[in-house]
Structure 1
Amino acid sequence: MITTISLIIFGFLFFWLAWKRTDWGVAAIIVLLPSYLIRFKVMGFPSTLLEMMILLLFVAWLAKRLVFPQSEKINFSQFWWLGLLFLLSAVLAIFISPDLRAALGIFKAYFLEPLVFFFIFVNVIRSVPQIKLILWAIGISALFVSLIALWQYLNLIPSYEPWISETPKRVTSIFEYPNAVGLFLAPIAVLFLGIFLLAHTTGNYKNEKTKNKTNRFVLGVILFSLLAVVFSFSRGAILGILAGVVFFSFFSRYKKWIWSILILGTILSLIIPQSRSLIYEIVTFQDVSTDVRTVLWQGAWNLLKDRPLQGAGLAGFPEVYDQYRLIKHTELLLYPHNIILNFWTELGLAGLVIFIWLIVKFFIQGIKARAHRLMFDSNFSFSLPLALLGTMIAILVYGLVDAPYFKNDLSVFFWLVVGLMAVAGKIADNKIEMEKSFH
């Protein structure tokens, strides 16, 4: 009863916020992305706090459109039609799945709701101050997850077994397993590394307190996120972060420093016996984690050779894969842990092609708008499109060994990144049009 009352009160307050300031409602959802962990049932149907907020945000936005019809016209971004095709491929995958109930749940949480959020995002977030609000929201969410992970590492709060008893011990923060920390924090760490490494300053700050606050916030998100990722011992996350940093190095004024640190880190990793041994095991596929993945990929490939067009259907991989897995693979996982195989098995070949098409479109847009700089505070500016490209690179590289989309928070964050690129591109186009009108 208390839980129900609490949810009603929270829902009312969130709806009021979304009605008064829809952009603040969007920001609140971003801060509370991990709230999918708060689960409950509505008339017997499973739901989450994150889902409830997205639904209330949509209702508030739609109601405002109906009450105030003079609002700005609806923005169908250049990614929207690809999003619809992506959604359609997920609809078709429902009927291929051997488990209709599970497929409907996955469709709702990983496809429908993230795309609803994306649609509202590109229609609400239209200005530079609003983008800054979103960046602050992303950073606050990362700090929350990171600090809990650090407290776990320092034994100030308990963590899940058996991870905390492993050697080295691995933190889980608010999640149930360590890799979830890396999956959530790695792209955010890269985004804020992009803000820092791509920054241009003139030193002409109007307010020294504002300057210091911004610097501390950006560096704090980077530092605490990186520490949490390291303490989660998520190797895929570290690989993704390194890929993002390498990308930024080609555009950063700190290029020499970045490469010096990377080279020094590589040398130290090869000199230190423990890290050298770990690298050797990974490269030669001798460690347990890598061996599990290679066997998993072989079984997934066997599945796709037999079902190349339809895959396994949404939420169908564990059941269908069991028919194709290698005998020595005893651990059944939800996904093949490779971004190409993940989308191919879940959405079929058509869904995979649409996903690749979306990524190509994303990079074209980012390259096109890369020269546009965002004023984060006073005279502190950076290229948001380049920062987003680095973020997507981190997601894709991490996706070589994991599933960086198929989770409630991750799917919403993926479309948040796409939404930011759409808004950044729109602002850049408007700026170009304004400049042309003055000539």
Structure 2
Amino acid sequence: MLSVLKKDLKTFRQDLKGQDSIFYLGLAFIVLYYLRPQVIIPGLEVIPWMEITILLGFLAMISNGRLKVTGTHFLVFLFATLAVLSGLNSLYPSISSKYLTTPFIFALEVLFLSNCVKNVKQLQLLLVVFFLCIFKMSLFGARTWISRGFGFAAWGIQGPAGFFQNSGEFSLLMAMCAVLSIPLILYMKSKTKLYWLFPITAIMTVMAASSRGGQLALLVGLIYLLLAYKKIRFKNLVYVAVFASFVWAIVPDAQKARFETAGSDQTSETRLEYWSAGIDIAKEYPMLGVGLKTFPEHYDRFYKVKGGGYLSNRKEVAHNSLIEVVSTLGVPALVLYLWFHFSIFSSRSLLKKHKDPGQDLVFLDSFRISLNGAVLTYFVGAFFMSVTFYPYIYFLLGLAIARVRIFREKERENSVENVNLIPKPYI
């Protein structure tokens, strides 16, 4: 087992050598974003590492003719433009003005990430580095849950400072990454089971987070994988039922009670009020909404019943990304936001028309399933969280654009090879 891991590590190090500078900057971007050494190590935070990395990356891409802009990029930037226009026309300009750069930052990150890998090998290496960064978080979450005796905590679990500090957002990241990793581990067909530690610890972290939205999102993602791999057979259903029974048995009673009261408890009723108000806001301001990031303020002024409960004195977000978008950015922005999900999801297998597809296409098809499962997981989680301007969907968009581009380049290569194999007639 360890010998296999040692051999894989050696191969990984060898594959990392000799890559181009753009790819290395892409790896630096992943490490800075998810491992965050600039925050962990004292004194490093004074330098804007992320901005420098992205700027150098774009300069290298332009000088090497590697910066490719697709229709998907255009629509991401269009969404960012609508968000900024909403901010400029906001009913609460003092709030929206603080976030005017955020939409374009995410759009630039999509453009950067999608162009920093040029082939299957680089995409694989980038994913390995990403999963290693996330494994640090999932291991922490699993250890926390074990230290509680697999018990329930009302506050869930706190992630690293930043986007994933809140328990709900942290659980969604772990759910997405667990689903994203499973098809790729299956593709590897490794002789060691150690790689399964990553999705297992990520799933344990979702359980520790005590977030119903994150747990439901994980369940939907795992069910999709069963359907994608055509594993819905009687024998497999028995295995799933046994596993589900085991998981349900170790789920704390307090967590079970939260699912049993879903829809009727105070938290659920309050969120239904948010969603109803968000729909009303969208009807009143359909084009650009009430303004970027202003749902809490608008709801507090016009919809909240003061003194009505433990949340009556707090300004809360919509707790639904669709409601957040349509109420603050408008209906056109919602259409684009929904389109992001469809652009990531692909139901067309890459292997059906190939008798001998080769390992690269097999990997890309496994990655297609990974992205499908991850975006479904995100969509379900985002239905219960306001995470429009969080990294999740933009990270998946960057990877999806890169996958499509690499696949098309492989198809062109195969077409050229097939043409060259056709015998030339004698003259």
Match of 1:56 in 2: 52
Among residues 170, 173, 182, which one is paired with 1:184 in the alignment?
Answer: 173
Give the alignment's TM-score, normalised by structure 1.
0.75
RMSD over aligned Cα, in angstroms?
3.7
Taking the TM superposition and a 5 Å limit, the aligned residue runs for 1:30-429 are 30-34=30-34, 52-65=48-61, 69=63, 71-109=64-102, 111-153=103-145, 167=153, 170-175=156-161, 176-196=165-185, 199=187, 201=189, 211-212=190-191, 216-217=194-195, 219-252=196-229, 254-256=231-233, 259-264=237-242, 269=248, 274=253, 277-282=257-262, 285-327=263-305, 328=308, 330=312, 332-363=314-345, 366-368=346-348, 370-371=350-351, 375=359, 383-407=366-390, 411=391, 413-429=392-408
Equivalent residue of 2:26, what SS?
helix
Contact residue 145 and residue 173 of structure 1 kept, 8 A: yes
How far apart in 2 are the matches of 1:401 and 1:51? 36
Contact residue 99 and residue 292 of structure 2 kept, 8 A: yes
How far apart in 1 are the matches of 2:252 and 2:276? 31
The Cα offsets for residues 232-260 of structure 1, whole Å up to 9 and x where unpaired, read as 11111111111111111122164446533
Distance 1:137 1:27, change over 3 A: same
How far apart in 2 are the matches of 1:29 and 1:304? 36
Distance 1:435 1:168, change over 3 A: same
| Residue identity in the other structure for 1:432 | E
| Residue identity in the other structure for 2:203 | L
Contact residue 33 and residue 141 of structure 1 kept, 8 A: no
Equivalent residue of 1:57, what SS?
helix
Unaligned runs of 5+ in 1: 1-18, 40-47, 157-163, 202-210
Match of 2:15 in 1: none
- CA shift, 1:21, in A, is 2.6
Distance 1:167 1:145, change over 3 A: closer
Equivalent residue of 1:140, what SS?
helix
- CA shift, 1:387, in A, is 0.9
- CA shift, 1:169, in A, is 6.5
Give the alignment's TM-score, normalised by structure 2.
0.77
| Residue identity in the other structure for 1:289 | T
| Residue identity in the other structure for 1:189 | A
- CA shift, 1:391, in A, is 0.4
